[in-house]
Amino acid sequence: MSLAELICPAGTPAALRTAVDAGADAVYCGFQDATNARNFPGLNFTPQELAEAVAYAHAKGAKVLLALNTYPPAGKVDLWRQAADTGARLGVDAFIVADMGVAEYIARNHPDIRLHLSVQAAASSPEAIRYYCENFGVKRVVLPRILTIPEIRQIRKEIPCEIETFIFGNHGLMVEGRCSLTNYLTGQSTNLDGVCSPASDVEYVRAEDGTMASKLAGFTIDRFGPDEKAGYPTICKGRYTAAHRSDGYYAFEEPISLNLARLLPELIDAGVHAFKIEGRQRSKSYVRAVVSAFRNAVDEIRAGRTADIANLVALTEGQKQTQGAFATKKWR
Amino acid sequence: MTKLTMGPIAYHWSAERRRDFYARIADEAPVDEVYLGEVICSKRAPFQEADLPGIIERLERAGKTVVLSSLAEVMLRRERKATEDLASMEAPEIEINNAAGLYARGTRPHRIGPFMNAYNEATIRWMASKGATHVCLPTELPAPSIAVAARMARDIGLGVEVQVFGRASLAVSARCYHARSHGRTKDNCQFVCEEDPDGMPLRTRDEQPILRINGIQTQSEGYLILLQELPQLVADGVSHLRLMPQAVDMVTVAEVYRAVLDQSMSTEAAEARLRQVCADTPFSNGFYHGQAGYRRIAQASLA
Amino acid sequence: MARKMNKANGYMDTGAQKTREINVEEHSGLSARLRLPGQTGLARLACLAVQPLLTRVVGRIAARHPSLFARLGDYRQADFLIDPVEFPFALHLRPDPDDLVFRAVPRHLDMKPVAVIRGRFLLLLELIDAEQDGDAAFFSRELEITGDTEAVVRLRNALDDVDGSIAQETAAMFGPPGRAILSRLRRNYLD
């Protein structure tokens, strides 16, 4: 049976406490280095902070999941191994991994700690998921945001592990763990360094007429009119021109966030075990609002009532939301 | 001796164009191994399947080793089936680009493709323990990591491959961006990607060329070109150098690389020749040098 | 990749390709809509009047939340300009634990901040207090960021890790009148 656990983001210890207090069943977080995919300036946990965070969460009945979901480049594998050892010592409840070498290390050295397969592993078929389950004992897969609900239901029938799906936040367009766009423009890699459009390479430039250009490493990713809503300065949410599209169009996706609030009952029915809220890079305010809203919604649904979902559109990218691939194949 | 390989065609070239291309590769190109098969989009595969046995036969008759590459993205039923069918083949060799393929293949011998994220020695060692005989390293891996990975892989008897020519694959998606640019969806694409045999150029709103769209794949605008870096790659244990097919004279490209490997052409002369062949396309080698991928790093001449 | 600070002047050495010259008075959609007419003399007077208050506020916060500085990394000696658009002055912040600077400055002071953060005063206050989400404010264009984006992201993350309300703490420093002013400001903002 689906437990509909709520898995919530924490970029700082304060955000972790906020998430736990707002009703998170589990919180995911990472260290202040390349071992996780939100290696952003001023974000994440020192080992000491993680120790305190684990104590806080456990005292309130919440779990802590440690994201080790990047890919170590050859010669630097020890950093990931040490992070796993530290996490094990501090008592985290699960590791979220993508790299096979990292998964194998944890399966061998910390067999009592649960392994979750990160979305960064891009396992989107029953066979791929079974590969990780059978070889590394993976207990849960975080599915890529590219599947319809009927497809998720079908996968559930064919795999031996739990399913976690994203329900809110950044709407990743590219297959996670297979994207080098940031590295192509900045020299910093999403897979190897844990960055995506690093702030050190982002610049917002205003013109006299009030338009704003968002630039990454000097390349103009988008230009917004004075009153146009904006998004993250990521390459996959930029506007470009093509020979037959001289107007400048969103070649990949417009600034928009995923919000599956209205699909929660269907997802539960399809066998999804855990709901993930994206946003370790967001503020406590975001964490408080989103976690509270979904905590309330899940509790209502479990009690057999219709959930009244709070309006979260103000927190979305571009102030727009979508059900993405979950609702229709036409999204592809 | 270091081998030259021709990677799988990333684009939706017509059946006729493919036949002509492989006929020339078989007869004229000094490459040792050729990867065939559709890696990017499962909808395109049926257009090629009928010709595949003939192309394999032609290439093998010319003394080339043929390897069949699997899809990078496996989600739909037809993609799962295609992957399973490929994994069940005894010959030719296969290159796997998705964990679904690894699952189906079990411990029977196979190659690891560039989409498999074999970034480090621990992962490569794991893959070798499960039957991998050869690994193509990810394009974005910088030189120091290539050195560590290649030496280890060589020491345990694996072939090690690095892409040295052609657009870099930067991302794949479930969504088709070719179809999207024409106001269509992937299911209704009408194979519009066929119009762009070297990818569909995207420019920034400052008119700067930046990326190429190839169906669900996003590629670099620049051709990744490693030439002056070849001696170091070979010294580090890289056994195979991959040329990705672009819509240029690939026979000449292969001849240039062979000549550089044989030390019968200087890297300067080789670059000048590639410049002629590749017209205005920018060259880049930033990934190798740990810089932004689009950059062209001039290396101090190796003393 | 952390960029090296130029210790001598506290500005960022960002390399040739990223030279940043921020014109503090630059026109922008937000400021054009919200800014009061320039009142230079008044601005200078206002700066003098609020300075003792600012010094006390920032000193107190720094003393109570020392962990804040670790998240700033190399940006502890960076100069931020915080620009509440409806105020007659801007605020200069240098979050250096050894030499903390938080002062009111005329908007057109000749300085080159590492970054400018511009918005309505109460929005800025709520961002500091994590009552508003900075990304959301940015998406809605209510918040403007210019200059070194990493500096702003670090500052935001550092402040976001502070538990409790900096605004409340500040108001409490001034007793019941302070709290009254804060709640009145909030009411006005919501109206």
DSSP secondary structure letter of residue B74: -
Q: Which two tokens stand for residue B14?
A: 């017509």
Section A173-178 average pLDDT: 90
CB contacts of A241 in chain B (<8 Å) are: 202-205, 207
Section C8-15 average pLDDT: 33
Residue type, position A320, single letter? K
- Region for B63 from its dihedrals, namely left if φ exceeds 0, alpha if ψ lies in -120 to 50, beta otherwise: left
Report the C-alpha gap between B126 and A71 in whole angstroms. Answer: 14
Output the pLDDT for position C39. 54
Q: Dmax of chain B from CA atoms?
A: 56
B182, part of any domain: no
Section C136-155 average pLDDT: 94
Report the C-alpha gap between B75 and A127 in whole angstroms. Answer: 10
Q: Dmax of chain C from CA atoms?
A: 52
Inform me whether the C-beta atom of residue C160 falls under 8 Å from chain A C-beta atoms: yes
pLDDT tens across C94-135, in order? 999 888 898 999 887 788 999 999 999 989 988 887 788 999
| Owning domain of residue C117 | 26-164
Residue with tokens 């990017």: B40
The proportion of chain A whose per-residue pLDDT surpasses 90, expressed as a percent, equals 87
Mean pLDDT of chain A: 95
Q: Which two tokens stand for residue B294?
A: 């689009």
When divided into structural domains, chain B yields a total of: 1
**Cα B219–Cα B214–Cα B295 angle in degrees, nearest 5:** 15
**Cα A276–Cα A279–Cα A280 angle in degrees, nearest 5:** 105
Closest in C27, C130, C141 to A283, CB measured: C130
Closest in B119, B146, B295 to A99, CB measured: B119
C172, part of any domain: no
Section A55-61 average pLDDT: 98
Output the pLDDT for position B155. 95
pLDDT tens across A194-240, in order? 999 999 999 999 999 999 999 999 999 999 999 899 988 999 999 99
Q: Is A71–B202 a contact, with Cβ atoms under 8 angstroms apart?
A: no
- To the nearest whole Å, the CA of B284 is away from the closest chain A CA by 10
Q: Is the peptide bond before B92 cis (omega within 30 degrees of 0)?
A: yes
Output the pLDDT for position C135. 92
At B249, which CATH number?
3.20.20.70
Residue A116 forms beta bridges with which residues?
Answer: A96, A140
Those residues whose C-beta lies under 8 Å from the C-beta of residue C110, and which sit 6 or more positions away, are none
| Cα B164 → chain centroid | 9
C83, part of any domain: yes
- To the nearest whole Å, the CA of C143 is away from the closest chain A CA by 11
Residue type, position A105, single letter? Y
Those residues whose C-beta lies under 8 Å from the C-beta of residue B101, and which sit 6 or more positions away, are B70, B71, B74, B83, B86, B87, B94, B110
Section A163-169 average pLDDT: 97
**Segments in chain B forming alpha helices (H):** 15-28, 46-49, 52-61, 77-87, 99-105, 121-129, 143-155, 177-181, 230-235, 250-261, 267-278
Section A258-268 average pLDDT: 94
C4, part of any domain: no
Residues 104-143 of C with CB under 8 A from A: 127, 130-136, 138-141
DSSP secondary structure letter of residue B182: T
Report the C-alpha gap between C191 and C188 in whole angstroms. Answer: 5
Residue with tokens 């903002």: C189
B14, part of any domain: yes
Q: Is A199–C138 a contact, with Cβ atoms under 8 angstroms apart?
A: no
Q: Which two tokens stand for residue B21?
A: 């291309």
Interface confidence (ipTM) of the complex: 0.96
Q: What is the dihedral of CA B17, B75, B101, B218, to 10 degrees?
A: 50
CB contacts of A186 in chain B (<8 Å) are: 292
Nearest residue of chain C to residue A280 (CA atoms): C157
Q: Out of A156-165, A217-226, C60-69, pick the least confident.
A: C60-69
- To the nearest whole Å, the CA of C17 is away from the closest chain A CA by 8
Q: Do the strands B33-36 and B3-6 form a parallel or antiparallel pair, or are they unpaired? A: parallel
Output the pLDDT for position C189. 56
At C119, which CATH number?
3.30.1050.10
C178, part of any domain: no
Report the C-alpha gap between C106 and C116 in whole angstroms. Answer: 14
Q: Out of A144-158, A305-319, B45-59, B86-100, pick the least confident.
A: A305-319
Whether the pLDDT of residue C18 is over 60: the answer is no
Q: Is A192–B173 a contact, with Cβ atoms under 8 angstroms apart?
A: no
C37, part of any domain: yes
CB contacts of A284 in chain C (<8 Å) are: 130, 160
Q: Is B80–A127 a contact, with Cβ atoms under 8 angstroms apart?
A: yes
CB contacts of A249 in chain B (<8 Å) are: 181
Report the C-alpha gap between A173 and B40 in whole angstroms. Answer: 16
Q: Which two tokens stand for residue C112?
A: 């080159």
Residue A28 forms beta bridges with which residues?
Answer: A9, A65
CB contacts of C30 in chain A (<8 Å) are: 210
C32, part of any domain: yes
Q: Is C149–A43 a contact, with Cβ atoms under 8 angstroms apart?
A: no
Q: Is A206–C27 a contact, with Cβ atoms under 8 angstroms apart?
A: yes
Output the pLDDT for position C40. 66
| Cα B28 → chain centroid | 20
For chain A, which domains are there? Answer: 5-171+256-331 (3.20.20.110), 181-250 (no CATH)
Whether the pLDDT of residue C3 is over 90: the answer is no
Residue with tokens 């393929």: B101
Report the C-alpha gap between A192 and C81 in whole angstroms. Answer: 34
What end-to-end distance do the CA atoms of chain A give, in Å? 30
Report the C-alpha gap between B294 and A183 in whole angstroms. Answer: 9
B293, part of any domain: no
Those residues whose C-beta lies under 8 Å from the C-beta of residue C79, and which sit 6 or more positions away, are C10, C11, C92, C93, C94, C101, C111, C112, C113, C114
Report the C-alpha gap between A98 and A177 in whole angstroms. Answer: 8
B193, part of any domain: no
Q: Is C146–A206 a contact, with Cβ atoms under 8 angstroms apart?
A: yes
Report the C-alpha gap between B58 and B223 in whole angstroms. Answer: 28
Whether the pLDDT of residue A310 is over 70: the answer is yes
Are C and A close enough to touch, i.e. 3+ CB pairs under 8 angstroms?
A: yes
**Cα A22–Cα A27–Cα A29 angle in degrees, nearest 5:** 130
Q: Is A11–C157 a contact, with Cβ atoms under 8 angstroms apart?
A: yes
C2, part of any domain: no
Section C142-171 average pLDDT: 88
Q: Among A222, A197, A229, A190, which residue's Cα sits nearest to residue A317?
A: A229
| Owning domain of residue B148 | 3-167+221-284
The proportion of chain B whose per-residue pLDDT surpasses 90, expressed as a percent, equals 98
pLDDT tens across B132-163, in order? 999 999 999 999 999 999 999 999 999 999 99
Section A144-160 average pLDDT: 95
Q: Out of A3-17, A41-55, C41-55, C139-153, pick the least confident.
A: C41-55
Closest in C30, C138, C153 to A40, CB measured: C153
Whether the pLDDT of residue A185 is over 60: the answer is yes
Output the pLDDT for position A231. 87
Output the pLDDT for position A272. 97
Banded pLDDT at C19 (limits 50, 70, 90): very low
Q: Which two tokens stand for residue A240?
A: 């470009």
3-state secondary structure chain C: CCCCECCCCCCECCCHHHCCCCCCCCCCHHHHHHCCCCCHHHHHHHHHHHHHHHHHHHHHHHHHCHHHHHHHHHHHHCCEEEEECCCCCEEEEECCCCCCEEEEECCCCCCCCCEEEEECHHHHHHHHCCCCCHHHHHHCCCCEEEECHHHHHHHHHHHHCCCCCHHHHHHHHCHHHHHHHHHHHHHHHHC
pLDDT tens across C26-40, in order? 444 565 444 444 456
The answer to whether A216 touches A202, Cβ cutoff 8 Å, is yes
Quick one: which H or E segment has residue B136?
Answer: strand B132-136
- To the nearest whole Å, the CA of A263 is away from the closest chain B CA by 21
3-state secondary structure chain A: CCCCEEEEECCCHHHHHHHHHCCCCEEEECECCCCCCCCCCCCCECHHHHHHHHHHHHHCCCEEEEEECCCCCCCCHHHHHHHHHHHHHHCCCEEEECCHHHHHHHHHHCCCCEEEECHHHCCCCHHHHHHHHHHHCCCEEECCCCCCHHHHHHHHHHCCCEEEEEEEEECCCECCCCCCHHHHHHCCCHHHHCCCCCHHHEEEEECCCCCEEEEECCEEEEEECCCCCCCCCCHHHCEEEECCEEEEEECCCCCCEEECHHHHHHHHHCCCCEEEECCCCCCHHHHHHHHHHHHHHHHHHHCCCCCCCCCCHHHCHHHCEECHHHHCHHHC
Section A78-100 average pLDDT: 98
Output the pLDDT for position C56. 80
When divided into structural domains, chain C yields a total of: 1
Nearest residue of chain A to residue C18 (CA atoms): A218
Q: Which two tokens stand for residue A186?
A: 């900045």
Q: Do the strands A257-259 and A162-170 form a parallel or antiparallel pair, or are they unpaired? A: antiparallel
Among C3, C25, C28, pick the best mutation site for testing chain A contact (most A Cβ within 10 A): C28
Residue type, position A230, single letter? A
Output the pLDDT for position C22. 54
Output the pLDDT for position A57. 98
Banded pLDDT at C2 (limits 50, 70, 90): very low
B139, part of any domain: yes
Report the C-alpha gap between B221 and B283 in whole angstroms. Answer: 9
Residue B159 forms beta bridges with which residues?
Answer: B134
Q: Which regions of chain B are under pLDDT 50?
A: 301-303
Inform me whether the C-beta atom of residue C86 falls under 8 Å from chain A C-beta atoms: no
- To the nearest whole Å, the CA of A276 is away from the closest chain B CA by 20
Q: Is A203–C71 a contact, with Cβ atoms under 8 angstroms apart?
A: no
| Backbone torsions φ then ψ of A214, nearest 5 degrees | -105, 125
Closest in B117, B144, B287 to A177, CB measured: B117
C154, part of any domain: yes
Report the C-alpha gap between A316 and B267 in whole angstroms. Answer: 51
pLDDT tens across A4-18, in order? 999 999 999 999 999
Q: Is C160–A15 a contact, with Cβ atoms under 8 angstroms apart?
A: yes
Output the pLDDT for position C5. 35
Inform me whether the C-beta atom of residue A202 falls under 8 Å from chain B C-beta atoms: no
Subunits touching C (CB < 8 Å, at least 3 pairs)?
A: A
Output the pLDDT for position B243. 98
